[in-house]
Amino acid sequence: MRLEIKGLTKRFGAFTANDSIDLTIEPGEIHCLLGENGAGKSTLMNMLYGLLEPTEGQILVDGEPVTFTSPSDAIDSGIGMVHQHFMLVPVFTVAENVMLGRERTRGLGVLNRKQAADTVRELSTRYGLSVDPHALVEDLPVGVQQRVEILKALSHDAKVLILDEPTAVLTPQEIDELMEIMRELKRRGTSIIFITHKLREVKAVGDSITVIRRGKVVGTVSPQASEAELAEMMVGRAVRLVVDKEPAQVGADVLSVKNLTVVDPRGHQAVKDVSFEARGGEVLGIAGVQGNGQTELIKALMGLIRPDAGVVALDGEDISRHGAREALDAGIGYVPEDRSHDGFVGAFSVRENLVLDLYRSDDFSRGLGLKLDAMADNARSRIEEFDIRTEGPETPVRALSGGNQQKVVVAREFSRPLKVLIAAQPTRGVDVGSIEFIHKRIIHERDQGTAVIIVSTELDEIYALSDRIAVMYDGRIVGVVSPDIAREDIGLMMAGASDEAEVNP
Amino acid sequence: MTETIAHPPESAGPGNKPVPPAESSRGPVTWLPTLVETLAAIVIALVLGALLVALSDPDTVETLPYLFSYPADFFSAAFDAVWSSYSALVQGSVGSWNRISTTLERSAPLICAGLGVSLAFRAGLFNIGAQGQMAVGFLVAGFIGFTYDLPPGLHTLVALAGGILGGALWGGIAGFLKARTGAHEVITTIMLNYLAVSILLYALGKEAFQREGSDNRQSPPVADSATFGSVADTHLGVLLAFAAAVGVWWLLERSTIGFEMRAVGANPEASRTAGMNVAKVFTLAMVVAGALAGLAGTMQVLGDQASISPTLAGTIGFDAITVALLGRATPLGTVLAGLLFGALSVGGVAMQASAGTPKELAAVLQALIVLFVAAPALVRGLTRQRATGGGSTVMAKGWGG
Amino acid sequence: MKKTARIAAVAAIAALSLSACGERPSDEPADTGSASESPSESESSPAAEEIDFKACMVSDSGGFDDKSFNQTSHDGLEAAAQNLGVQTGEVESQSDSEYGDNISALVDEGCNSVTTVGFLLGDATLEAAKANPDVDFSIVDFAYDKAPKNLKGLVFNTGEPSFQAGYLAAAASETGTVGTFGGLNIPTVTAFMEGFRLGVEHYNEQEGGDVKVLGWDGKDGSFTDDFEDKTKGQQVAEQMIGQGADIIFPVAGPAGLGGLQAAKDNNVKGIWVDTDGCVSTEYCDVLLTSVMKGMDVAVEEAITSSVNEEFNSELFVGTLENGGVGLAEVSDDVDPAVVEKLDELEQQIIAGELKVG
């Protein structure tokens, strides 16, 4: 199926989200749609999927103009979409989720589960997507849940599959698996529109790349284009993909962790006897595949989980029994891993979120009363300083793009003197321009003498920022290495295949 | 996933510079759609109510069999029935200062209890317990009011403080249980309602709460010295209700405590991560909510020298939930909704008294208004408003905790 | 919008089918002017000629549909409309704090007499009577020590017929155990229970029986703490039946219906209160009799005296003698000798020879 978009425009009042976009998806092609968060990719896809009505322009399927007033029109025309946030019912099985909305019944309204399971099995063998049709979705890892979404689309005979930021939630391994699936789908003749802002992925899997900026197509290029070229097209200016940094001026141990053990609510030891030091003026990167204890480790450092054993000492004082309030007051800055869950209050304005953990300070309150003017001044200067793209200080943070939401969190945490900065996945789901900015600020903080701990599942990020790298596997630190170690070696350590290595640069 | 629909992405806006701060996002623009929706809901409810009035009016029904031969009979009968009912409703609720004053007095406890429910909503708690908190409030306030002999003014203050503290205690229990054990506040507040009613019945069975020489479950009236003073025939409890609304507004929007409550209500995880003590906030929110309901209960006895009886609270504690929902859990909205419900209640009596309209009609009107407010899509469909997006229901959070 | 259209269509069809057989009563001009004046009474045909008098009533928070004293009192108002041709007005209260407002709303409507129902309205009624000397007030189930001349209390000596009922229950019991329970421990309820208890005791003295009363000992007993919840009434009655009671005397309004249900389920007998249970309930076959409290009669009399300008503030006490209270017809299953004895008791009570409560 050949999908053409001609002069598609979408306006919200005076604001033009998509400005006469032209795009052609050839049959059996992986077409990457590259653009920063907020460039208009989602608006375009929502029109293509019948969720939004175009203001102007045409969509053509195999040369025939079509109008979609609802997703079911789009599905009938052979368009499938996997949203960034999955639309699955957690307590249903895979087969039930796949048949959801088009339940087949045997007489008397009895659901034909067997047929649904057969469909799932048939599709998963055909496309090499291994999924157990009877597993409950809530028990499945994120990567597999995504496969269920893909299966759901395929079961509707999708000829063009839209994948909206599919890699944002995946581990490096799962990303590799997804790319394999995409290639397999392509071999079977399914076209894919792959929306992302990660240059590496685009180059790895794309057949052609269309870059969108501020609602307009900047150009369509081949995957041979260099990352720097693509980044420049996306952002509209030359972007430095490597973080500029001087060698670290390493100071004294600021935070020292000894024999820390954390037991999660299910009684499983998530962090096992971990010891390390974070030193002033240095970035310690904690690498590891998601779910190997990093989350619990930093929550324990922040006083959000009570450790079972061990000592966390800040400037020699044990803070392992402190709560979050004390940890923050002691001078630890924290950028949580899941920003919308832990990092900000979506319904709150930018102004309010920028003081979410500072409102009790004398700067922003007097007695019980909040100093609204001080909060507003603070918001204006942070918005300026951190280049937060928002309508104004009163815009709710949930209305911002992911990158700008993260900038709000970062701006807040960086707006007071810190001894230690703990940043988990500081650039997950953040666009290239913002990544560059956030990285720069982290290094700036390091250069002020702050001890910085970065937790990331993205090796690129670990390499770009760290002065030392600790690798976590199965709740333990399996080695502390210098950043000049080869990618493959760290990969092996992350997979738990390496001997304990202690390399002190 | 379609947030871009309601909020066009900013970074695609003109220029790299941050857009100059637009004050408008807090201004009328954001709540205007909900105001229009609410008014539309009220109008639709009145229209349906008119239909019910017409069809329950015997004279109108009599004309039905020959509707097509003499349609004018039907319409004039129906019009007369509806006109007499609704004019009684308006006359009876705001037709004279005397009526307005009654409406204000009737609204005051609804507003206070509604504020309690609203405040708890904002902290992410679904407070079903206003009824019980009121009962404890008027039990304490009334007891102080008829038992002790204190100088006027002081007596009122002591009784008032007692009532508020009683309600605060009762609300606080639910908050404390939630904070300490995670017990869901919907369950605990319902149970505490039963408990409060039982305590009330028990107390009224004791000599100390009964009139001398009577075994009836009715206390003596509170002493003159304990009642609220009145200005222009309106007791000062009405002023207290408005003051409470301003206080709640200040607390929520201008204080650190309110900041915490709203943060915890919107995202408890992020609040905890930001160092807030979520358990403390839950407890405090329920204490304040209970205090407001306690104030509502206090008005029932100190307002016009009443006595305590098992059914003194009527259904105010439950109507308060509706008032809070209708007011979208904002202080101003709660005041307006409370006034509306007060007017419907007072006007409903006038409809019964002069037009013979059953009291259920006032209740049906209230229910219809809330129904249409809760189903904005339906109202939009009926009035053909364009979808404005950005729903504004306050319900969702309450059950989550 | 489609839905509205559909509703309209249904309504139109309904109207059409009605109109097919309908004919306008030609002799009666459409009198829409009085449409709102007396809505509830318009169906009753042989009504007395309308007179210029408005009789009004305020319920307590139970409402006029409480199948109990509000409803019975309201029957009195309707009877007055029927027999005297008075116009009526009424307000149902929702909360105890409304009583004053509701009474004045009716006074504002030009009511000539206002009847309030229940002791909870005692204060509000007294206040209204003082403020409106031109309006005659009466109140069901409440007596004042000193009432203004336009206020009349209507109370009922329900202990008298309950005494008879107790005697009847004791005589009819095969197990030697009878049970009673109330809605709340308040005088208007316990008067029945005490009379019942004394009646049983009287039987024991006279006939040398040893019949026990469950649920009331003269001071305290079994209460549902609720006049609405039939389940509670049923539970209490089931317990008593479990303890051997074979006659149940529930004094708990609609909640008492649960007691009769329990009696039916367990094949024992019951005695109803306030109204004739053979008329007002579906349990006639389990009833021995009913203790009737003539609130409707009293209310109608109060209105009549007001219409005739004979109103006085003297307390009305319904007794066996004046017919304000009484026993309903006794079931055929009861030994005629016992029925005779009941008549004898009535004479003794009227003569003041027996202490009934």
Positive or negative torsion for Cα A70, A73, A76, A77: negative
Contact (CB<8Å) B12/A215: yes
The domain in which residue A208 lies consists of 3-235
Contact (CB<8Å) A369/B26: no
**Cβ-nearest to B205 among C24, C43, C185:** C185
Residue with tokens 């209740």: B363
Higher pLDDT, residue A296 or C66: A296
In a domain, A18, yes or no: yes
- Check if C89 contacts B (Cβ < 8 Å): yes
**pLDDT band with cut points at 50, 70 and 90 for residue B186:** very high
Find the radius of gyration of the CA atoms of chain A. 24
For residues C328 and C289, the answer to whether their CB atoms sit within 8 Å is yes
Which two tokens mark C272?
A: 């109803």
What pLDDT sits at residue B355? 73
For residues A192 and A26, the answer to whether their CB atoms sit within 8 Å is no
Looking from the CA of C92 toward its CB, the CA atoms found within 13 Å total 19
Q: Which of C148, C139, C99, C97 is nearest to C119 (CA)?
A: C139
| Amino acid, single-letter form, for residue C107 | V
Same domain, A26 and A132: yes
Find residue A212's DSSP bridge partners. A217
Strand, helix or coil for residue B360? helix
Domain C54-156+297-318 identical in fold to domain C159-292? yes
- Rounded-to-integer distance, Cα A437 and Cα A432, Å: 9
| Amino acid, single-letter form, for residue B394 | V
What pLDDT sits at residue C51? 84
Same domain, A127 and A203: yes
For residues A505 and A492, the answer to whether their CB atoms sit within 8 Å is no
Same domain, A50 and A125: yes
Range name among A113-122, A182-191, C15-24 with the lowest pLDDT average: C15-24
For residues B54 and B73, the answer to whether their CB atoms sit within 8 Å is no
Report the CATH number that the domain containing residue A128 is assigned in CATH. 3.40.50.300
For chains A and C, having 3+ Cβ pairs within 8 Å is answered no
Contact (CB<8Å) B20/A389: no
Q: Which backbone phi and psi does A73 adopt, to 5 degrees?
A: -60, -45
**Cβ-nearest to A346 among B25, B266, B273:** B266
Positive or negative torsion for Cα C111, C115, C118, C121: positive
Percent pLDDT > 70 in chain A is 94
In this structure, what DSSP letter does residue A425 have?
S
**Cβ-nearest to A360 among B11, B21, B256:** B256
Which two tokens mark A105?
A: 């019944």
- Rounded-to-integer distance, Cα A40 and Cα A446, Å: 35
What does the CA dihedral B117, B119, B123, B124 come to, rounded to 10 degrees? 30
**pLDDT band with cut points at 50, 70 and 90 for residue A450:** very high
- Check if A346 contacts B (Cβ < 8 Å): yes
Same domain, A26 and A149: yes
In a domain, A12, yes or no: yes
- Among chain B residues, the shortest Cα distance to A213 is held by B12
Q: Which fold has domain C159-292?
A: Rossmann fold (3.40.50)
| Amino acid, single-letter form, for residue C199 | G
Question: What are the sequence ranges of the domains in chain C?
Answer: 54-156+297-318, 159-292
- Rounded-to-integer distance, Cα A469 and Cα A453, Å: 10
What is the nearest CA distance from B173 to chain A, expressed in angstroms? 24
- Which chain C positions have a beta carbon within 8 Å of B77's beta carbon? 30, 32, 35
Q: Which backbone phi and psi does A477 adopt, to 5 degrees?
A: -90, 115
- Among chain A residues, the shortest Cα distance to B14 is held by A214
Which chains are adjacent to chain A, needing at least 3 Cβ pairs under 8 Å?
B
- Rounded-to-integer distance, Cα B160 and Cα B294, Å: 9
- Among chain A residues, the shortest Cα distance to B122 is held by A347
What pLDDT sits at residue C177? 92
Q: Which of C43, C109, C115, C102 is nearest to C74 (CA)?
A: C115
- Kindly report, residue by residue over A137-175, the tens digit of the pLDDT: 888 877 788 888 888 888 888 899 999 888 766 766 778
* Integer angstrom CA distances of residue A152 from A52, A75, A134, A358, C16: 22, 11, 15, 45, 51
Contact (CB<8Å) B262/A215: no
- How many CB atoms are located within 10 Å of the residue A169 CB? 18
Find the radius of gyration of the CA atoms of chain C. 23
What is the nearest CA distance from A340 to chain B, expressed in angstroms? 8
Contact (CB<8Å) B67/C15: yes
- Among chain A residues, the shortest Cα distance to B3 is held by A399
**pLDDT band with cut points at 50, 70 and 90 for residue B378:** low
**Cβ-nearest to A368 among B16, B256, B270:** B256
Which two tokens mark A224?
A: 């041979």
Same domain, A177 and A315: no
For residues B352 and C94, the answer to whether their CB atoms sit within 8 Å is no
What is the nearest CA distance from A223 to chain B, expressed in angstroms? 25
Which of A209, A235, A261 delimits the end of a domain?
A: A235
For chains B and A, having 3+ Cβ pairs within 8 Å is answered yes
Strand, helix or coil for residue C116? strand
In this structure, what DSSP letter does residue A143 have?
H
Same domain, A224 and A275: no
Positive or negative torsion for Cα B177, B178, B183, B185: positive
| Helix, strand, coil percent content, chain B, rounded in steps of 5 | 75, 0, 25
Judge whether residue B155 has pLDDT over 70: yes
| Helix, strand, coil percent content, chain A, rounded in steps of 5 | 35, 25, 40
Count contacts between A and B (CB, < 8 Å).
150
Contacts of B32 (CB under 8 A, 6+ apart): none
Judge whether residue B395 has pLDDT over 80: no
Contact (CB<8Å) B8/A12: yes
For residues C140 and C69, the answer to whether their CB atoms sit within 8 Å is yes
Residues in chain C, overall count: 357
Find residue C116's DSSP bridge partners. C58, C139
Give the full edge-to-edge strand order of the sheet including A269-279: A269-279, A253-263, A309-314, A317-318
Percent pLDDT > 70 in chain B is 85
Higher pLDDT, residue B69 or B45: B45
User: Of all helices (H) and strands (E), which one includes residue C55?
Assistant: strand C54-58
What is the nearest CA distance from B22 to chain A, expressed in angstroms? 6
Same domain, A205 and A331: no
Q: Which backbone phi and psi does C291 adopt, to 5 degrees?
A: -90, 110
In a domain, A402, yes or no: no
**Cβ-nearest to C36 among B80, B102, B214:** B80
What pLDDT sits at residue B20? 35
- Rounded-to-integer distance, Cα A185 and Cα A160, Å: 10
Contact (CB<8Å) B314/C108: no
Contacts of A62 (CB under 8 A, 6+ apart): A1, A2
- Check if A393 contacts B (Cβ < 8 Å): yes
The alpha helices in C63-138, defined as continuous H runs, are 69-84, 99-108, 122-131
Contact (CB<8Å) A389/B257: no
What pLDDT sits at residue B89? 85
In a domain, A485, yes or no: yes
Same domain, A260 and A292: yes
Which two tokens mark A77?
A: 């025309």
- The pLDDT of A407-436, averaged and rounded, is 88
Which chains are adjacent to chain B, needing at least 3 Cβ pairs under 8 Å?
A, C
Q: Which of A217, A207, A235, A288 is nearest to A9 (CA)?
A: A217
**Cβ-nearest to B81 among C18, C36, C105:** C36
Judge whether residue B10 has pLDDT over 50: no
- How many CB atoms are located within 10 Å of the residue A65 CB? 10
Domain count within chain A: 2
Count contacts between B and C (CB, < 8 Å).
155
- C321: burial class by Cβ within 10 Å (0-12, 13-18, 19+)? middle
- Check if C59 contacts B (Cβ < 8 Å): no
Range name among A24-33, B196-205, B281-290, C64-73 with the lowest pLDDT average: C64-73
- Rounded-to-integer distance, Cα A359 and Cα A371, Å: 9
Strand pairing class (A191-196; A160-164): parallel
Contact (CB<8Å) A370/B254: yes
- The pLDDT of A214-230, averaged and rounded, is 87
| Domain annotation for chain B: domains and CATH numbers | 31-76+358-401 (no CATH), 104-350 (1.10.3470)
What pLDDT sits at residue B294? 96
Judge whether residue B169 has pLDDT over 90: yes
What is the nearest CA distance from C44 to chain B, expressed in angstroms? 12
Find residue A192's DSSP bridge partners. A30, A161
For residues A47 and A53, the answer to whether their CB atoms sit within 8 Å is yes
- Check if C19 contacts B (Cβ < 8 Å): yes
**pLDDT band with cut points at 50, 70 and 90 for residue A104:** low
- How many CB atoms are located within 10 Å of the residue B279 CB? 16
User: Of all helices (H) and strands (E), which one includes residue A460?
Assistant: helix A459-465
Contact (CB<8Å) A388/B18: yes
- Which chain A positions have a beta carbon within 8 Å of B270's beta carbon? 341-345, 356
- Rounded-to-integer distance, Cα C157 and Cα C169, Å: 19
| Amino acid, single-letter form, for residue C290 | S
Find residue A456's DSSP bridge partners. A287
In a domain, A348, yes or no: no
Angle between helical axes of A402-413 and A432-447 (0-180°, round to 10): 10
For residues A466 and A454, the answer to whether their CB atoms sit within 8 Å is yes
- Check if A184 contacts B (Cβ < 8 Å): no
Query: Looking at domain C54-156+297-318, which CATH architecture does it have?
Result: 3-Layer(aba) Sandwich (3.40)
In chain C (357 residues long), the average pLDDT of successive 10-residue segments reads: 49 48 49 43 56 89 78 89 88 86 89 90 90 92 87 91 92 91 88 92 89 89 86 91 92 89 91 86 89 90 89 88 87 86 89 78
- A73: burial class by Cβ within 10 Å (0-12, 13-18, 19+)? middle
- Kindly report, residue by residue over B193-240, the tens digit of the pLDDT: 999 999 998 898 888 888 877 777 888 888 888 888 777 777 888 999
Same domain, A137 and A285: no
Same domain, A27 and A107: yes
Find residue A8's DSSP bridge partners. A21
- Among chain B residues, the shortest Cα distance to A305 is held by B273
- A505: burial class by Cβ within 10 Å (0-12, 13-18, 19+)? middle
Contact (CB<8Å) C105/B350: yes
Which of A235, A267, A291 delimits the end of a domain?
A: A235
Contact (CB<8Å) C225/B73: no
Same domain, A262 and A223: no
- How many CB atoms are located within 10 Å of the residue A26 CB? 13
- Rounded-to-integer distance, Cα A91 and Cα A112, Å: 18
Report residue A495 CA to chain centroid gap: 21
- Kindly report, residue by residue over A55-81, the tens digit of the pLDDT: 889 899 988 999 888 888 888 889 999
Contact (CB<8Å) C105/B353: yes
Quote the mean pLDDT of chain A. 86
- Among chain B residues, the shortest Cα distance to A379 is held by B21
For residues B23 and A392, the answer to whether their CB atoms sit within 8 Å is yes
At residue C274's C-alpha, the angle toward residues C273 and C279, to 5°, is 85
**Cβ-nearest to A39 among B1, B12, B256:** B12
Residues 141-180 of A with CB under 8 A from B: 164
Same domain, A222 and A324: no
- b/e B206-220 (16+ beta carbons within 10 angstroms → b): eeebbbeeeebbbbb
What is the nearest CA distance from C191 to chain B, expressed in angstroms? 11
